[in-house]
Amino acid sequence: MNPAIPLDSYRHKGLRKLLIQNLRKKGILEEQVLAAMEKVPRHFFFDSSFLEYAYEDNPFPIGAGQTISQPYTVAFQTQLLQIKKGEKILEIGTGSGYQACILAVLGAKVFTIERQKSLFDKTNKFLPSLGFSSVKTFYGDGYKGLPAFAPYDKMIVTAAAPFIPDPLLDQLKPEGILVIPLGAHDVQTMTTLRKLSDGSFERQEHGAFRFVPMLENRSKGI
Ligand code: SAH
């Protein structure tokens, strides 16, 4: 057994089931999304001293001033993406890597960018050790997207974006969907943009959420 992988006990599995019931009550109805969240042990993405918080429906600090998103938010954004097997997805804001693993369980080919070097270093080693070597992690600035692997079927931004970065729109396939929490202040509006075949965008808003800010440029290797 790999000592780096924490245990997934019956207690954790039980707590996860309760979390899924809770998400259902809060209006998450896509069974595939709920099944993926029941499969991935969220406590693996926490420091071992905080395991008891892993199945509460709350965000939680993961170091470098960042947080793992609230389970409801992960479920909500994932639902909006309407993932189909084999789709190429770009995530901005790897953080703990949890959201990226949920997308991978749904059959997506995930490319994910993180600007904090310490978080990138951690997920770059940790995700393969959990069996998620298909998730490709990058240290970079999500405002620029990831042109080397473009275009993408779908994109998800998991930090509060003050505006929609043009490179993301450029790197989206026709009929592609971008899910992005928009707003420069405390509260953001969850927004989807669908790229139409003529290159224009159809925009929809889905309510208020709170994210840590999307910051420009990579952090300086710390
Ligand atoms: N999806 C994550 C949630 C992370 S919180 C998870 O499942 O745990 C948002 C993350 O976005 C933070 O780690 C933050 O460092 C990162 N971030 C902020 N601005 C960024 C940018 N311009 N490019 C890439 N990552 C960014």
What are the pLDDT digits (tens) for 36-51? 999 999 999 988 878 8
Q: Using CB atoms within 10 A of its CB, is residue 164 exposed (0-12), middle (13-18) or buried (19+)? A: middle
**pLDDT value at position 1?**
46
Phi, psi of 64 (to 5 degrees): 55, 25
What are the boundaries of each domain within the chain? Answer: 62-209
116 C-beta closer than 6 A to ligand 1: yes
- Which atom in ligand 1 lies closest to the alpha carbon of residue 67? 5
pTM: 0.96
Per-residue pLDDT of the chain (222 residues; tens, 9 = 90+): 455 667 899 999 999 999 999 999 999 999 999 999 999 999 999 888 788 899 999 999 998 889 999 999 999 999 999 999 999 999 999 999 999 999 999 999 999 999 999 999 999 999 999 999 999 999 999 999 999 999 999 999 999 999 999 999 999 999 999 999 999 899 999 999 999 999 899 999 999 999 999 999 878 765
What are the pLDDT digits (tens) for 135-159? 999 999 999 999 999 999 999 999 9
CATH code for residues 62-209: 3.40.50.150
- Which atom in ligand 1 lies closest to the alpha carbon of residue 62? 8
Catalytic residue positions, numbered: 69
Strands (E), the chain: 60-63, 66-68, 88-92, 109-114, 136-139, 152-157, 172-182, 188-195, 201-209
